[in-house]
Structure 1
Amino acid sequence: MREDTDNYRELFINDTPMVDLRAPIEFSQGAFPSAISLPLMSDDERAQVGTCYKQQGQQAAIKLGHQLVSGEIKERRMARWIEFCRHNPQGYIYCFRGGLRSQTTQQWLKDAGIHYPLVRGGYKALRNALLDVINELSETLPFHIVGGKTGSAKTLMVNTLANAVDLEGAAHHRGSSFGAYVKPQNTQINFENITAIQMLKKQHAGYQQLVFEDEGRHIGSVDLPVPLYQKMLSAPVAVIEDPLDIRLQRLLKEYVIDMVADYIHVHGEEQGQVLCEAYLLSGLDKIRRRLGNERWQILREEMLKAIRLHQAGAGYDAHLNWLFPLLNWYYDPMYEYQLSLKADRIVYRGNWQECHDYLKAQSVD
């Protein structure tokens, strides 16, 4: 019979299936990739028990909890837990602190003939373990940074290097004014959790250094953890130097062609086209002040012309008429300035494949 565990890192390294017994609102604020939400109590039930605890104490709150989760409600929730346990014999259950909710569920399962272990310390202990990973590995492991102008396929580089950590993937945002995806960003907590798990797995696989894409302090609405960001600010940089025409074609695919397809896939043809147009215009509006009104107006008019053409089935090439000046007027000068601040940390320059080969070689040194 498996025992309760406090080997938190092993759970994440192995992608161990876990039942999160917290209320849905708690799960939505932050959870773990291998966890599924099968709450002991609904949000409303949890609120009632919490109020009872404050007004009448623990015993009254426990009594109310048992009253609320009884009969058919208890049977339905038990059926889902039992199904999970049978399909995931290697899994665990947890609540917020490894207290009453997980212990109660564990006992109910035991009464049904299922001995299923819990995570000692619960979600809070698991979360703290991941924050410790970020702090520890940011201090102990060397970093390399992948730099390059917009359209240099830095994220692709990260996703093809075995020792790289995909921060933008963890954030579910590409880090620019046009960086949003169709589905919402991850929460700050989920971003940190996913990043920490990536770092932990790389270390466990034996990599002695990590590679990150060059990022600012923020990726969309999330912030890089301070220890990680501070380490990145001093790490050596490899700069991708690809021709403008290659970068433009990448941006056309990433910002326009792929996003049109994604919006249509999620929302249907008509609504997808409308929402993608709003996404493109919103991305431009976010940099209006930095562009200046005159340049913003020029780009907006070109963007609208291109949108009308692709909506009419005329293809996507007209989008190059705003993407080219966008790079020329805004993104390239901005990155050249930022790169000048990192001049003393640049250790390599080359095209995409050359930078890839260089960073791959560093991982085995």
Structure 2
Amino acid sequence: MTCPPDKNNTPTRPSLSVDWEAYATMLEDSDMPLDQQQELIETLWSIVVMFVDLGYDIKPVPQICGEDQEALDRESADLVSLLHNEWAQKVTDMLNRVIYAGYIEHEQWGITRRQGHHQALISLETYQTIQERRNSKGIAAKRPDISKDFPLRGSVNCACCDKPMTAYWSRSATGKRYPYYNCQTRDCSEYRKSIRAEKIDDGFENILRSMTPSKNMLDIAISMLKDAWDQRGDQAKQAKAEIRRQHKELDKQQDALVERMVETSNPKVMSALETKIAKLEEDKLLLTDKLSQNTKPKSTLSEIIELLRDFLSNPWNIYENGSLLVKKTILKTAFKAPLAYDRQNGYRTPQVSVIFDFLADFTSKCEMVPPHGHAKQEKTMP
């Protein structure tokens, strides 16, 4: 008997393939070297895929990250405080009950897991994820330097030593808190010299607002988006077909085990076969649960095109209104390297992504000086 397919191997978010020749042809009229054309296509494709997955995500189980992870950590801390009172056991019982996933079972009465007639609060796969997390050895603690209060932390370097700045909250004598950045490199001349976060944030806003690509870039991006959108749709259909195939395979395995049960009279063998049949039934229920989940796009193609157009036309608007994860993604895709900031003179000319570097006259729009100079100083907090 072949082993049942691993439920974690069901296609979730396969990679998308880019048509290099088609998009290289769209850049033939430019004077860009071939290596830069390849970098442009790669970078733009990664951005396009990110936006496609916002609207057409075939991954059934949401990932916890950014602000969601912070909320989970706070809730976990609250649960820890309950470990020594009567509510701790109630919380554990709730996490263990499959009834919240729309199923019933009772091992003591010999009732195996089966579909209930009540409405599920969570999917069966989410329930399985909870059990796996509870039974795991542990989850690494969230990094303390990842915070929505300082989204630029890790992306801004000290202009003197080129090492990442740190950020923190400082409390005044009146008890009011103020955000600051500083350099923590001991042999740097700017060591522990504080910079108000408002200066760094305002300067970054000026940089991001100035980054606007040409119409040609928008045309290429939209063409890529439509291609990626169609690929995601095909992958969603293929994922459904694969789940149905796995379900049929489990049916065959179950039938084979039932035939073996009929042929044997050994109680131990029968008990072992019953256990295997019950496990296969659980796997089938999980696949059925996946089939019932809605894999249709959460947004229309036109909505995602508009969102992508807004991002490329004015990345600041997306950054300002986005989650911490979106902000970090924009920082990675819009810049080749961390931004260098000088405490006295502000930002140095940044190394922007080839998307904006080639198609947007960045230096003239930003009114910035050459890389060895400094940008204009931003306004300071009163």
Q: What TM-score do you get using the length of structure 1 for normalisation? A: 0.24
1 or 2 for the larger relative contact order (CA 8 Å, sep ≥6)?
2
Higher helix share: 1
